[in-house]
Amino acid sequence: MVATHTTQQVAPELTMRSDDHLLEVNHLKMYFPITQGLFSRVVGYTKAADDVNFYIRKGETLGLVGESGCGKTTVGRCIVRAYEPTSGEILYRDPDGGVTDLAALEGKEIQPYRKDIRMIFQDPYSSLNPRMTVFQVISEALRVNNLASGSEMRDRVEYLLQRVGLRPEYIQRYPHAFSGGERQRIGIARSLVTNPKLVVCDEAVSGLDVSIRAQILNLLEELQDDFDLTYLFISHDLSVIRHICDRVVVMYVGKIVEVASGLDVYVDPKHPYTEALMSSVPVSNPRARDKGTRILLEGEVADPSNPPSGCYFHPRCRYAQQLCREQAPPLKDLGNEHYSACHFAEELSLAGVRMV
């Protein structure tokens, strides 16, 4: 009689492409079902995020840009696990050096990472509970995660209020007593109360007056240095992205079409959609304003529930050829950490923003 041995399968160890990466998103998909009829039969899917790939280095600010509805907020909410991704990996480097796939976590497994990855929301009015005081709003994460209590919790909240530019005496006031800019400062303090490693800023300044935006952006940069933070900065405002971001990811209809450094994506775009976006950036120098050409895209943004064949952008692209209609372009590495999902990225000479 021959003895048989059963071998237990061990899950493969998760690894990242580089030791300085804090987060890697690999082949992320987020499909929302479209239902119909009395029994809510699924008749299709809205592909809000469709095979998204990028990484964020420790200490950097990565910008995620695109038109409204392109899926950038969906990606941010998948990272903080407000959504359960349809498929893909969200690899996060733990403080002890290990790697965890956030997309694979379920239920209470996610809880320990809630304090490490936080979010600043767009609307400073709807993101704060009007029935909670400033102290309750900011300290809630400490209480839920059992990180502090009593005087220690109060001291932490008062310190953060001071750090974001508000007076500690405001601790027992309610949100209605504050302006939009002050409410967003409270939201920022709330996101930092657990000493996070990564903060997802979802249109963090788009709901504010122009006069307040620069103050909040400068505050975010100061806090990044002081607290050793890493930002994913989601915005449709390209002027804001240019001011604060080290690298930029451009999305169109759920897909990434270009990734480059903050400077390269503005002065040397390699995708026609990025070129069109950059043509809309306001130029500060009056003498240079008439030298550029505004690119007006024809047609409508593709429907994420029924996207076109090949390259999703080809119906609106003035450089499109037959290949673009038939084959989806891969995200190619063009060197110097510049990536483009265009069949003709190395052949086209595209115009960027005039910097002077």
Residue with tokens 């309750």, as numbered in its chain: 136
In a domain, 256, yes or no: yes
* Alpha carbon distance 22, 76 (integer Å): 15
pLDDT at 7 (0 to 100): 41
Q: Taking all residues of the chain, what is their mean pLDDT, rounded to a whole number?
A: 89
Question: Residues 125-151: what's their mean pLDDT?
Answer: 90
C-alpha torsion angle, residues 129, 103, 250, 286 (rounded to 10): 30
Residue 254: which domain range? 249-340
One domain, residues 262 and 324: yes
- The answer on pLDDT for 166 being more than 70 is yes
In a domain, 122, yes or no: no
* Alpha carbon distance 166, 72 (integer Å): 31
In a domain, 81, yes or no: no
Question: Residues 254-258: what's their mean pLDDT?
Answer: 95
Query: For residues 350 and 85, which has the higher predicted lDDT (pLDDT)?
Result: 85
- The answer on pLDDT for 14 being more than 90 is no
184-241 confidence digits (pLDDT tens): 999 999 999 999 999 999 998 887 888 899 999 999 999 999 999 999 999 988 888 9
Nearest to 292 by CA among 267, 272, 263: 267
* Alpha carbon distance 29, 73 (integer Å): 13
In a domain, 168, yes or no: yes
Q: What share of the chain is helix, strand, coil (3-state, %, to 5)?
A: 30, 20, 45
Label residue 68 by pLDDT band (50, 70, 90): confident
In a domain, 38, yes or no: no
258-276 confidence digits (pLDDT tens): 999 988 999 899 999 999 9
Determine contact, residues 47/31, Cβ cutoff 8 Å.
yes
Least confident residue range of 36-45, 91-100, 144-153, 292-301? 292-301
In a domain, 175, yes or no: yes
In a domain, 299, yes or no: yes
* Alpha carbon distance 79, 256 (integer Å): 16
One domain, residues 253 and 175: no
In a domain, 286, yes or no: yes
- The answer on pLDDT for 325 being more than 50 is yes
- Number of domains forming the structure of the chain: 2
pLDDT at 238 (0 to 100): 87
Residue with tokens 């607290």, as numbered in its chain: 227
Least confident residue range of 78-87, 108-117, 284-293? 284-293
Q: Where are the alpha helices (DSSP H) in the chain?
A: 72-79, 111-114, 134-144, 150-163, 180-192, 210-227, 238-244, 264-267, 272-278, 322-326
One domain, residues 255 and 327: yes
Label residue 3 by pLDDT band (50, 70, 90): very low
Label residue 312 by pLDDT band (50, 70, 90): very high
